């Protein structure tokens, strides 16, 4: 078992690419956002603490997130793991590195989906998502509009505009993201298994680049 990491700013298409990679290469998808949302809905102690922090778009504290991830890794996985949304800070990256070396777990690829800041705002502001959580299809008003205005092509549910996808909210998410992401990127850029893909291409081309990298490692 090895762990792979997918890094990228909000609006880079990282979530969509992660889902496709997991399917294609039969990876185990480990999303800290999903684990935390599950804790919130179950009302666990961690969930109760994380609820307000998540709602405000801030980050849950490093020790809590690391603890959840390490507990899950200790249970073991059949095959490789792809992290989605983790690590998010330099402290998480360092703690993960130590954990992996003590557990003799290998670090696979660290893939960064790179998109210039200027392109991200337009992507996020034009984004519409299916309101049916089981579907979760993602559209864009200009680059990938639905066939019928405001309706999901796949399941027919209404589309919604996420409340944190406005220009103003996006700028504050970006400011927060840049402050934590740059040191994180600096940490991983120096590793030999770091690869950056051009996230400014069409999603299909981005996926092709990611597939090529994974195929190389197989
Ligand atoms: P996501 O689904 O990855 O966008 O995560 C949703 C929310 O969960 C984030 O806005 C954070 O509040 C929290 N979260 C997810 N992953 C992490 C992480 N690695 N570190 C801190 N907070 C996280």
Which pLDDT tens digit goes with each residue over 3-38? 999 998 877 888 889 989 999 999 999 989 889 988
Is 162 within the bounds of a domain?
no
Residue 138 resides in a domain: no
**Whether pLDDT at 178 is above 90:** no
Residue 146 lies in a domain: no
Q: Is residue 132 part of a domain?
A: no
- 160 in a domain, yes or no? no
- Cβ of residue 46 lying under 6 Å from some atom of ligand 1: no
Out of 42-51, 116-125, 149-158, the most confident range is 149-158
Cα of 31 vs centre of ligand 1, distance in Å, is: 9
| CATH number of the domain where residue 192 is located | 3.40.50.300
Lowest mean pLDDT among 50-59, 82-91, 135-144, 180-189: 50-59
Q: How far apart are CA 46 and CA 73, in angstroms?
A: 18
Q: Which atom of ligand 1 approaches the CA of 36 most closely?
A: 8
**Does the pLDDT value for residue 64 go beyond 80?**
yes
pLDDT at 217 over 70: no
In this predicted model, which residue has the larger pLDDT, 161 or 117?
161
Position 88 in a domain: yes
Q: How many domains does the chain have?
A: 1
Task: Specify which residues 140 forms β-bridges with.
Answer: 127, 144
The question of whether 127 is a catalytic residue gets the answer yes
148 CA distance to ligand 1 middle (Å)? 32
What is the SS3 assignment for 122?
helix
Q: Domain range holding 213?
A: 2-116+169-217
φ and ψ at 54, to 5 degrees? -65, -40
What number does the ligand 1 atom closest to the CA of 50 have?
Answer: 12
Q: Is the peptide bond before 87 cis (omega within 30 degrees of 0)?
A: yes
Residue 119 has pLDDT above 80, yes or no: no
Residue 129 belongs to some domain of the structure: no
């Amino acid at each position: 078992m090895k762990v792979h990491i997918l890094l990228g700013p909000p609006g880079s298409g990282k979530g969509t690419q992660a889902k496709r990679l997991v399917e294609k290469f039969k990876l185990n998808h480990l999303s800290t956002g999903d684990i935390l949302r599950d804790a919130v809905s179950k009302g666990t102690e961690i969930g109760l603490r994380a609820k307000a922090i998540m709602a405000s778009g801030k980050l849950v504290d490093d020790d809590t997130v690391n603890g959840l991830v390490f507990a899950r890794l200790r249970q073991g996985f059949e095959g490789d793991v792809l992290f989605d949304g983790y690590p998010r800070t330099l402290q998480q990256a360092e703690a993960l590195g130590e954990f992996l070396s003590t557990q003799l777990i290998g670090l696979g690829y660290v893939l960064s989906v790179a998109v210039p800041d200027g392109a991200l705002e337009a992507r996020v502001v034009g984004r519409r998502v299916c309101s049916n959580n089981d579907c979760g299809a993602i559209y864009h008003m200009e680059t990938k509009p639905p066939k019928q205005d405001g309706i999901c092509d796949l399941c027919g549910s209404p589309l919604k505009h996420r409340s944190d996808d406005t220009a103003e909210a996006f700028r504050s998410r970006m400011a927060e993201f840049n402050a934590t992401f740059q040191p994180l990127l600096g940490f991983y850029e120096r590793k030999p298994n770091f690869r950056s893909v051009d996230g400014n291409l069409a999603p299909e081309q981005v996926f092709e680049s990611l597939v090529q990298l994974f195929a190389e490692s197989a």
